[in-house]
Chains A and B, each alone.
Chain A
Amino acid sequence: MGTISTYAAQSLAAVRTSFADRTNFALQVLGMSVNNGFWLVLWFLFFAGFREVGGWRLGDVARMLGVIYTLFGLATVFFGGYRDLGGAILRGEIDPLLTQPKPILPRLLARESIPSAWGDLLTGIAILSFSARLDLGGVGLVVAAIAIGMTAWLSTAVTFASMAFWFAGGRSLSRDLMDFTLMVSTYPASIYSGWVKIVAFTVLPAGFVAVAPVGLMRDPSWQAAALAVGGAVAYAALALTVFHLGLRWYRRGATPGS
């Protein structure tokens, strides 16, 4: 309970701090909304030229984008420290936390709230309100898909960023991996087959961030739910293991990047 209340207090403080400079906040939210609009326009142009990809049309992609923007927005507003977790490790910002009794990872995640993520949250909700089924069952599935996808997304971020415990270049590589995972997550799920499907459900878990949760929304079943929840839980376990292995290495006095 103490862990949750510490996380919540720190996260709310980070959110309040992100509001402090209102002009900057507004610019960031606007910038992100324009960015998301751009991506939607790109898909609009694509489907205007190519009509469909393996049965997926613009409406399907829009629904998926709505889920992804919303989960990304929630993760980055309330767990924004994940965005530069690798940088925090390399800068030695873990040191003061090591002397304190509270768990380290939640505090690292809660230490920052990125203002631009409100832009993701707003565009995500706006897209979902136009493209998703919004009766009681539909809303329940959307919420479940977002929660599952967000767990997989944060777990992936922690796993990749933990490379910085061992390599200085891990910060830049983990950023690229996350950016690419996000981009791949926005592609129609119909492209995944054979090796690509294996990659999407292992190395770059776009499958568990987007494909499985959105699959649960499109075609709800116990099997789809088991795949989505199981994947997210497995990735969360992997993230905790890798982070704590890295932390053990760090505690031994190994300089990050050495």
Chain B
Amino acid sequence: MRSTPPWTSRIFSTLAAMVAAYRIGLASALTAWPVLLGRAIFYGVCLMVLVAFWDKVGAQRLAGTLAVRLPPGGLGVYIGVTEWVTLSVPAIQLRLEDDIRSGALEPHLLRPKPYLAQTIAGEAGGMTARLAMLAVAGLALLAISGRPWPAGLGLVYVGVLGVIGALIGVLLYTLVGLTAFWLRRVLPALLIMQKLMFLLGGLFAPISFYPGWLHDLAAASPFAAHLAFAGQEVLTPSISDFSRALAAQAAWLVALVLAAALIWRAGLAKLMKGG
């Protein structure tokens, strides 16, 4: 009788722990349905304000400015997509900061299941519920608003790139949370990350409006993989852009998982050495 190699069994055990954590995260989010509902209302309010801003800019159409390049329907749907992803990503950095600062992390280190993988999976479970709830809210708002729907398969592209983009967001916020090993508060790291999402992720304005060098820089960053690629599909949907975006997202997922693992190890080493 052949026995399973220890590393294979470890991988299966880790995956099983992650699936269990994912299911708990999903169930917890669904149980707290009033909070989900509140988040959907919040999403609607966000859209109302941000769309009003861009509608005001678009209505002026000042000659010699970028306003003339705004799409005829405005940026309402683009904003809806980028905010859908942004508001679905859970605040995993808060949990990591709490556990690292308070020492609550230490009991987890004695257990055979990997803390970080389980935490990410649990938060991804909660994120699934948010993505679904906000998607329904977003589609309902789009129908009510009377704005044009994305052409062709645009909505499918947005769905796929948005979900993967949200996962990239969880990993980016995980990196922020792990800075708690060195900083007492992760707030500065969080705010810098958020501003990079605004600038390079296209949360402030589509990166296609940027000058060439800034557009290239943004497109090559994980922030575009997090937000801009999904948003861009409502402006100019195309299968070739979708395929390129998917490949870039896959590459960033791998890179961010590796980065999280490395930073986690470095943080643990610091914790073990100095407490």
Contacts and interface: CB of A to CB of B under 8 A. Distances in A.
Interface of A: 21, 24, 27-28, 30-32, 34-35, 38-39, 41-42, 46, 49-54, 83, 87, 114-116, 119, 163, 167-173, 175-177, 179-180, 184, 187-188, 190-193, 195-196, 199-200, 203-204, 206
B7 to A, nearest CB: 36
Interface in B13-35: 29, 32, 34-35
Contact of B183 (A24, A35, A184, A193): A24
A203 B42 CA distance: 9
Which of B46, B49, B98, B194 has the most chain A CB within a 10 Å cutoff? B49
Interface string B75-101: 000000000000100110010001000
A63 B98 CA distance: 36
Given A30-B188, A51-B62, 11 more contacts: A28-B187, A46-B204, A50-B65, A51-B65, A52-B60, A52-B62, A116-B187, A169-B35, A173-B42, A196-B48, A206-B49
A175 to B, nearest CB: 6
Contacts of B45: 180, 199, 203-204
A87 B188 contact: no
Interface in B28-64: 29, 32, 34-36, 38-39, 42, 45-46, 48-49, 52-53, 56-57, 60, 62, 64
Contact of B192 (A35, A173, A176, A206): A35
Contacts of A206: 49
B67 A50 contact: yes
B205 interface: yes
Given A42-B199, A50-B62, A87-B98, A35 B56 contact: no
A196 B49 contact: yes
Contacts of A28: 183-185, 187-188
B195 A173 contact: no
B198 interface: yes
Given A28-B185, A28-B187, A53-B60, A167 B192 contact: no
A116 B184 CA distance: 11
B189 interface: yes
B25 to A, nearest CB: 12
A195 B48 contact: yes
Contacts of B189: 31
Contacts of B34: 167
Given A172-B90, A191-B49, A191-B56, A31 B66 contact: no
17 contacts: A27-B188, A28-B187, A32-B187, A35-B194, A35-B195, A38-B195, A50-B66, A83-B187, A168-B32, A172-B91, A172-B94, A173-B38, A191-B52, A192-B52, A196-B52, A199-B45, A199-B49
Contacts of A115: 184-185
A46 B35 contact: no
Contact of B56 (A119, A169, A173, A190): A190
A181 to B, nearest CB: 10
B175 to A, nearest CB: 14
Given A187-B49, A204-B49, A167 B188 contact: no
Given A24-B183, A168-B32, A173-B38, A50 B57 contact: yes
A-B pairs, 6 with minimum CB distance: A31-B188, A169-B35, A38-B195, A49-B66, A35-B191, A169-B32
B209 interface: yes
B35 A173 contact: yes
Contacts of B67: 50
A31 to B, nearest CB: 3
Contacts of A83: 187
Contacts of B184: 21, 24, 28, 115
